[in-house]
Amino acid sequence: DGNFSCKKPLPFGYRFYSTPDIDVASKYAIKFTYEGDDYLVVFQNRVNPENLIRISNIETGIGEY
């Protein structure tokens, strides 16, 4: 049991999601304020395309995962 938690419902269950679209990633980002400026935290990662399962925008209604 890890410390993974998410503030929004995960439509395809608990796992780590990746997207090539920063706008989709920003919808799940944690927002914080530092010295009066607002920031969103997202992580960039690399994936092995041979093991990648693509979920289309049509299926998610948000963007490609």
Q: Is 60 exposed, middle or buried (0-12, 13-18, 19+ CB in 10 A)?
A: middle
- Inform me whether the pLDDT recorded for 61 exceeds 50: yes
Q: Over the stretch 2-11, which tens digit does the pLDDT of each residue have? A: 555 555 666 6
Query: How many whole angstroms separate alpha carbon 6 and alpha carbon 3?
Result: 10
Q: Environment class of residue 62 by beta-carbon count within 10 Å: exposed (0-12), middle (13-18) or buried (19+)?
A: middle
Higher pLDDT, 32 or 45: 32
User: What are 43-52's pLDDT values in tens digits?
Assistant: 888 888 787 7
Round to whole Å and give the CA distance between 61 and 34. 32
